[in-house]
Amino acid sequence: MTGFCNEAWAHTVKLQQATLGHPFNEQLANGSLSRERFQFYLAQDARYLVAFGRALAVAAARAPETGDLTFFAGAAREAVVVERVLHEGYFEQFGLSETDLDGIETSPTCLAYTSFLLATAQTASYPELIAALLPCFWVYQHVGSDILERGQVDGNPYRAWIETYADDEFAASVQACKDAVDRAAAGADEATRQRMLAAFTRACEYEWLFWESAYQLETWPTAQFR
């Protein structure tokens, strides 16, 4: 049987290509992305990571193997503590205060993606949950590595972000998550594998939407009625 992860990536290959070619990532790569768009992205991502960390913690609690428990528990800590250090560095660089950040409303896409992950953590099976969590690892590595392979632009203000998701340590985390997902799929029946594929695909769609939301500086269309 072909590994689930390979099947899932092939199933979403057009979406992965669209993610690489998204204007947000194209401009991130050449350093021309506006500070306003990157700040908006960081504010949303900081909120996303809290929910992602909670979902990872649920995966750790459910993991049938000690190695996977250790990985998901460690990844939960990384999401909430370590990756926020990267954000805080940019907040300091941009002179963003807590008041400034609080003034950036959580976008519809951020709320939808986090709600999807938290709902999956509470209502779906362990295999479905970790399939839904995988894209956040894998897509970010795919984007970071693609940008690095193109060659770094001198003076790119987003260099630290790019290098975080293109380094060997992050690649090892991606592989650990892929291995856990493949093991879960190997022991699952076909109906569960199909639900895993649906969860993986939906999370990949939300990853694209997250870039799009930041690029468009997404607001609530209902704000006019408040």
Q: How far apart are CA 129 and CA 116, in angstroms?
A: 10
Q: What is the CATH number of domain 4-217?
A: 1.20.910.10
Q: What is the pTM of this model?
A: 0.94
What percent of the chain is modeled with pLDDT above 90? Answer: 77
Q: Which of 2, 145, 141, 121 is nearest to 72 (CA)?
A: 121
Domain ranges of the chain: 4-217
Q: Which candidate, 214, 194, 218, 216, places its Cα nearest to that of 8?
A: 194
List, for residues 29-84, the tens digit of each pLDDT value: 999 999 999 999 999 998 999 999 999 999 999 999 999 999 999 999 988 887 77
Convert the pLDDT of each residue in 131-140 to its tens digit.
999 999 999 9
List all residues 6 or more positions away from 170 whose beta carbon is below 8 Å from its beta carbon: 137, 140, 141, 144, 164
| Position with higher pLDDT, 153 vs 171 | 171
Query: Is the pLDDT at 1 greater than 50, yes or no?
Result: no
Virtual torsion, Cα 86, 100, 203, 158, nearest 10 deg: -40
Q: Give the model confidence (pLDDT) of 106-155 as tens digits.
A: 999 999 999 999 999 999 999 999 999 999 999 999 999 999 888 777 88
Where do the H-state alpha helices sit in the chain?
4-11, 13-20, 23-30, 35-62, 66-77, 83-94, 98-102, 108-123, 126-150, 159-166, 168-186, 190-215
Residues 88-94 have a mean pLDDT of 82
Average pLDDT over residues 182-198: 97
